């Protein structure tokens, strides 16, 4: 029997009645709730709800009614329909090209299953790479992060994005943004988390005399650099290593680690439960 899976993310100021309102809405539409999770941080409420429908679902009608319900409850709702199709990917960047270049190279060689539909940059440094790859480039350089995120959300909706990849995007995303896309935002961190967190991981590793340096690709959560880990890799530090050579090796590893995590997600090999990523084995051809 065909089944339609719908993901709803509800975000807004915390108050009573939201959970009941949306769970009742699912039941009224003959749906079955598969997963539900909610959290409150500093008065901001976020709820993830996944429901399945065995009867044919009128998507337009369902979306319109869900948006009306959200408005009545003074909330915002994001809806994502899980269908069997090529995943649509948005890549967020700042100015470092190495991770983006690896993803675009894999795309050109047909090594990733997803379709990169848009690049979003905080500046226009990497716009030329987007033009060369014939991918739309949108610059969002708002200094106010809340305003920037609203614009990013609009772009994500416009391009019907399934996965967001942070390819050295050098801004911290707020819970208001992250909650909308649970297990759909992948970031690369230049450290074997949780060691050396923050923007100066290589400097810390170098100054502390680390003997091994690694990278971590993870899903983004509201807790900075603490999301479920997807993939990690590392390399040994030579005795005659300089900070510059360490950075070059690290950037190369960042690119390959992020790319591997993106591939696994697009291959449908990742499942997240109890805050941990479980990787399914590759299917034999």
Tens digit of each residue's pLDDT (9 = 90 or more) over 89-101: 999 999 999 999 9
Among 3.20.20.70, 3.30.70.260, 3.30.9.90, 3.10.20.740, what is the CATH number of 4-82? 3.30.70.260
Q: What does the pLDDT read at residue 56?
A: 84
Q: What is the mean pLDDT of residues 122-151?
A: 96
- Whose tokens are 């449908």? That residue is 268
Q: What is the mean pLDDT of residues 214-243?
A: 87
Q: Which residues pair with 137 in a beta bridge?
A: 119
Q: What does the pLDDT read at residue 259?
A: 97
Every domain of the chain and the residues it spans: 4-82, 88-279
Phi and psi, residue 238, nearest 5° = -75, 155
Instruction: Give pLDDT tens digits for 150-171.
Output: 999 999 999 989 999 999 999 9
- The band of 284, judged by pLDDT with boundaries at 50, 70 and 90, is low
- Between 273 and 96, the more confident residue is 96
Which helix or strand (DSSP H or E) is residue 153 part of? helix 145-158
Cα dihedral: 186, 271, 37, 53 (round 10): 110
- The band of 140, judged by pLDDT with boundaries at 50, 70 and 90, is very high
88-279: same fold as 4-82? no
Question: How far apart are the C-alpha atoms of 50 and 202, rounded to whole Å?
Answer: 39
Q: pLDDT exceeding 70 applies to what percent of the chain?
A: 95
- Between 57 and 25, the more confident residue is 25
Q: What is the mean pLDDT of residues 96-125?
A: 95
pLDDT tops 80 at residue 113: yes
Q: What is the mean pLDDT of residues 264-285?
A: 82
Active site residues: 225
- The band of 71, judged by pLDDT with boundaries at 50, 70 and 90, is very high
CB distance 230 to 188 below 8 Å: no
Q: What is the pTM of this model?
A: 0.77
- Between 195 and 3, the more confident residue is 3
- Whose tokens are 């591997």? That residue is 260
Question: How far apart are the C-alpha atoms of 173 and 227, rounded to whole Å?
Answer: 13
Give the residue from 226, 215, 210 showing the smallest Cα distance to 259: 215
Q: What does the pLDDT read at residue 62?
A: 95
- The band of 2, judged by pLDDT with boundaries at 50, 70 and 90, is low
Q: What does the pLDDT read at residue 200?
A: 75
CB distance 91 to 100 below 8 Å: yes
Helix (H/G/I), strand (E/B), else coil: 196 = coil
Q: pLDDT exceeding 90 applies to what percent of the chain?
A: 59
Q: How many CA atoms lie within 13 A of 267 on its CB side?
A: 16
Joined together, the tokens standing for residue 188 give 């690369």
pLDDT tops 80 at residue 201: no
CB distance 256 to 262 below 8 Å: no
CATH class for the domain made up of 88-279: alpha beta
Q: Give the mean pLDDT of the chain.
A: 89
- The band of 41, judged by pLDDT with boundaries at 50, 70 and 90, is confident
Q: What does the pLDDT read at residue 271?
A: 86
pLDDT tops 70 at residue 123: yes
- The band of 285, judged by pLDDT with boundaries at 50, 70 and 90, is very low
């Amino acid at each position: 029997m065909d089944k339609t899976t719908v993901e709803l993310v509800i975000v807004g100021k915390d108050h009573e009645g939201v959970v009941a309102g949306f769970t009742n809405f699912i039941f009224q539409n003959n749906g079955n709730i598969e997963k539900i999770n909610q959290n409150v941080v500093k008065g901001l409420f976020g709820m993830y709800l996944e429901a399945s429908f065995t009867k044919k679902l009128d998507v337009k009608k369902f979306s319109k009614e869900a948006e009306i319900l959200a408005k009545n409850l003074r909330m915002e709702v994001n809806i994502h329909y899980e269908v069997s199709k090529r995943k649509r990917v948005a890549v967020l960047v700042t100015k470092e090209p190495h991770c983006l270049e690896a993803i675009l190279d894999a795309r050109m060689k047909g090594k990733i299953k997803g379709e990169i539909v848009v690049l979003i940059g905080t500046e226009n440094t990497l716009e030329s790479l987007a033009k060369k790859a014939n991918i739309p480039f949108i610059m969002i350089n708002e200094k106010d992060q809340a305003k920037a995120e609203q614009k990013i959300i609009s772009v994500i909706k416009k391009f019907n994005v399934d996965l967001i990849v942070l390819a050295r995007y050098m801004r911290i995303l707020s819970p208001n943004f992250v909650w909308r896309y649970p297990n759909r935002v992948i970031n690369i961190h230049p450290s074997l988390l949780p060691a050396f967190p923050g923007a100066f991981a290589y400097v810390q590793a170098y100054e502390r005399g680390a003997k091994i340096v690694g990278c971590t690709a993870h899903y983004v959560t509201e807790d900075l650099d603490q999301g479920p880990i997807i993939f990690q890799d590392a390399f040994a530090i030579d005795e005659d290593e300089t900070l510059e050579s360490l950075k070059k090796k690290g950037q190369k590893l960042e690119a390959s680690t992020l790319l591997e995590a993106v591939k696994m997600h697009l291959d449908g090999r990742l499942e997240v439960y109890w805050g941990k990523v479980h990787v399914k084995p590759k299917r034999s051809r």
